[in-house]
Chain A
Amino acid sequence: MIKYFFKSLANLKLAIGILLSIAIFISIGSIIEQSKDIQFYQINYPNTIFSIPFWKILLILGWNNIYNSWWFLLLLGLLGFSLACCTIIQQLPTLKFSRRYYFYKQFNQYQKLNFKVNTNKVFLSHLSFTLINEQYSFFQQSNNLYAYKGLISRIGPIIVHLSIICVLLGSTLGALIGFNSQELIPKTEIFHIQNIITNGICSLIPQKTFRINDFWSIYKPQGLIKQFYTDISFLNNYGSEIQRKTISVNNPFLIRDLIIYQTDWRISCLRLKYNMNEISSINLQLPISKINTIGKTYWISAVPNKNKDLENFIFLLKDNRGQISLYNNNNGKFIKNINIGDNINQLNLNLVDVINSTGIQIKSDPGIKLIYLGFFFLMVSSLVSYFSFSEFWVLYFPEKVMSGGKTNRAKVKFNIEFLKFKQSFF
């Protein structure tokens, strides 16, 4: 009973059915927008099917969150099981089969082969020389001869299956005990992991301390951002630095099981200094807000000024290069560009710094090693599957010789090899 169950799981048609149904479900998932609130579906899918609103059917079927629904995960699990069963029940035995060199001793076995020769004499020494020249491994047993080449292509599909299982297991592990958090930290500040975006059932969030030492961006001549960098330190419980690295996009920081990515950035405020007289001064922090226009982002702020007789200013920042454009708040006219350290007109205001925040993502995914292992072997094995597995048999008697061969891929190449073998037959 159990054996029958596993055998039916290993059935190829079932596996193909699973593959195609996964394909259909994920295509639905890409068409219907995922993980929105109920109102969204109510507005977008109001039509009725058999007098039931479509959005209700959608929610009941779990199509609003296909990729995390229990039946989709079950389907993926079923695929994994099916692959495992197929590998254990079907693929591994055939591998053993081909390693135990396997002679064809009956004439009718030769009838099924695609390439065959029937003659009455064979020059075995010449044939074996040709076989060795073509890099075949061959075995002889009384009047039988068996030769094969490219056993690795037999292993290829097994590795493919095993690595897909690896990837599935790794992603399960990641979903169970991994987490993902995103933080927006002003430079020079110390922080913990706080803003968790996703986490699994068994995730442990480590209470580690980090410090953003600095954040800066570099630009191309045309004014487009080239790369942004965050200098980040990993601190111990006493606040002293253990590790330090400058991260950038595509260059994350690995600390044991945590990975820190550079993702976003933002200007959070302007730091100004108001010189009341020659001795005393006040430090001010001016909040700044972000404006998205078509394809461009600006940061804007203003100096509040209650004295009507003095000028009002608007500050406009285009990027993170430390240059600020000043505009007149009354008539909106451009006044001038100033840099960090400059004084702002007659007001005794001095621009001390532009405080920016770095957006970083901290992730822990214990499954990633397994997944990368799977990826690596998947890449290797998909190349290995190009090799063809070729076999060649001879059965000879004093007056009669039967011979044949087969291959699973490069038929043309095998045809040429087979012509060479034919020369040894008389």
Chain B
Amino acid sequence: MVSFNNYSNFFNNSIFLFSLLSNIFYAFSLNLKEVNFFGTIAKTISRLTTLSIFFFLFSRWTQYGYFPLSNLYESILFLSCILLFGYQVLEFQTQSSLFGIVVLPIVLFLISFGELTLPLEMQKSSALVPALQSNWLMMHVSLMMLSYAILLIGSLLSIVYIGSWLLLDYYIKTTPKRYQGFQNHIIKSINKKRNINLTNNQFSELCIIIAGQSPLNVNIKVMHMEEERILIDTNTKLLSFLDNWSYRAISLGFPFLTIGIIAGAVWANEAWGSYWSWDPKETWALITWLIFAAYLHLRLIVGWKGQNPAILASIGFIVVWICYLGVNFFGQVKAYIVMVGLHRL
């Protein structure tokens, strides 16, 4: 037993360390784009994290004899494992390190919540009460975790979309102001060098003269705008990339959520004869489902794109978190525990 504790400690520490390191290296690779080295290290370490979580869960499975989703701690590890795996698939498909930068902080948050704040008693695998010994339940929990992970990635991309959209919007709005600053800067430097006093109007006249004389018809304003246009173009491409992948992830996660909720309802009906009892966990799963259903209808049928569905998906991000963790802090959740403990009479 002691050896097992030691070895689960070892896994705990290494998983935490790996996820922390991969976060740091992803941050480095974001800021130092020209150094490939950091990106490679970050990717390798995040692969290591995935592997160690996988082996840890697998060893718990063989050790205790039931699927490693019996308590909150295991479900947190399970969710992190799927999140890591999912983002790595996306990264492989798109060759973009964006997913890692976005997803890894979430994984770090999950792992540190599971390993640092959950008491040791809750980390231990506990025996399943009779109501939890059901194949429907296993299907329910694993599908829910899968859908949470995919929906989290999708809605997270939507949040990033909104962030970069606001930045781009601000950038476009401030274009004239920036040009003014640029012009002032040039005038100032000319005045300093030539020791003359050029006004704004004189400068624009001068620009027109220069543009007329130069063989390439170079206008300072056109040059400046061209530079801005390239920047806006790359950002617009990034936006449509984010929009597309967020939609794809959500439309993949949604059917899993549907089947997961249904499996849960079937299990509840088998276990205590009520497929739906409006307890907070069920309610919030339904809210998640409703929000993403609305999102998909807006995209597929109405044909909306961009920031409006993204706002809805960002709300969905918060709702998924409430559904997964937040509900545990609600007052009524004891009803859930009581039901699982089968002391309803």
Contact of B278 with A by CB under 8 A: yes
B240 to chain A, nearest CB (A): 12
B293 to chain A, nearest CB (A): 6
A153 to chain B, nearest CB (A): 11
Contact of A325 with B by CB under 8 A: no
Contact of B287 with A by CB under 8 A: yes
A67 to B294, CA, bound (A): 21
B133 to chain A, nearest CB (A): 6
Q: Are B272 and A261 in contact (CB under 8 A)?
A: yes
Q: Are B283 and A26 in contact (CB under 8 A)?
A: yes
Q: Could you say which of B4-12, B51-59, B297-305 contacts chain A? A: B297-305
Given contacts A30-B284, A250-B271, A359-B345, contact A22 B290 (CB under 8 A): yes
Cβ proximity bits B259-272 to A, threshold 8 Å, 1 near / 0 not: 10010011001111
Q: Are A27 and B273 in contact (CB under 8 A)?
A: no
Q: Are A264 and B275 in contact (CB under 8 A)?
A: no
Q: Could you say which of B123-131, B208-216, B226-234 contacts chain A? A: B123-131
A182 to B343, CA, bound (A): 12
Q: B342 contacts which chain A residues (CB < 8 A)?
A: 249, 263-264
Q: Are B330 and A379 in contact (CB under 8 A)?
A: no
A56 to chain B, nearest CB (A): 21
A248 to B286, CA, bound (A): 29
> Number of B interface residues, CB 8 Å?
45
Q: B331 contacts which chain A residues (CB < 8 A)?
A: 33
Q: Are B301 and A227 in contact (CB under 8 A)?
A: no
B131, B298, B301, most chain A CB atoms within 10 A: B301
A225 to B259, CA, bound (A): 30
A322 to chain B, nearest CB (A): 19
Main secondary structure of the interface of B (DSSP, over half): helix
Please report which residues of chain A, range 177-204, place their CB below 8 angstroms from some CB of chain B when the two chains form the complex.
180, 182, 184
A378 to B283, CA, bound (A): 19
Q: Are A250 and B134 in contact (CB under 8 A)?
A: yes
Please report which residues of chain B, range 112-128, place their CB below 8 angstroms from some CB of chain A when the two chains form the complex.
127
Contact of A8 with B by CB under 8 A: no
A92 to B332, CA, bound (A): 43
Q: A378 contacts which chain B residues (CB < 8 A)?
A: 258, 262
Contact of A340 with B by CB under 8 A: no
Q: Which residue of A12, A30, A263 contacts B302 across the interface (Cβ within 8 Å)?
A: A12
Q: A180 contacts which chain B residues (CB < 8 A)?
A: 273-274
A23, A33, A248, most chain B CB atoms within 10 A: A23
Q: Are A26 and B278 in contact (CB under 8 A)?
A: yes
A261 to B272, CA, bound (A): 6
Q: Are B283 and A382 in contact (CB under 8 A)?
A: no
Contact of A220 with B by CB under 8 A: yes
Q: Could you say which of A13-21, A46-54, A125-133, A390-398 contacts chain B? A: A13-21
Given contacts A264-B342, A375-B262, contact A30 B291 (CB under 8 A): no
- Which residue on B lies nearest to A183, using beta carbons? B345
Contact of B255 with A by CB under 8 A: yes
Q: Are A375 and B265 in contact (CB under 8 A)?
A: yes
A409 to B129, CA, bound (A): 43
Q: Are A19 and B278 in contact (CB under 8 A)?
A: no
Q: Which residue of A20, A220, A361 contacts B272 across the interface (Cβ within 8 Å)?
A: A361
Contact of A144 with B by CB under 8 A: no
A85 to chain B, nearest CB (A): 14
A227 to B271, CA, bound (A): 12
Considering the complex of A and B, which 7 residue pairs feature the smallest CB-CB distances, nearest first?
A382-B255, A249-B130, A30-B280, A23-B290, A30-B283, A363-B273, A264-B345
Task: Return 29 A-B CB contacts under 8 Å, by A number.
Answer: A12-B301, A15-B297, A16-B297, A16-B298, A19-B293, A20-B290, A23-B291, A29-B278, A30-B280, A30-B327, A30-B330, A30-B332, A171-B276, A182-B345, A184-B345, A220-B127, A228-B130, A249-B130, A249-B131, A250-B271, A251-B270, A263-B342, A361-B273, A363-B273, A372-B266, A382-B258, A382-B259, A408-B300, A409-B251
B-side residues, CB < 8 A to A, are 127, 129-131, 133-134, 251, 254-255, 258-259, 262, 265-266, 269-276, 278, 280, 283-284, 286-287, 290-291, 293-294, 297-298, 300-302, 327, 330-332, 342-345
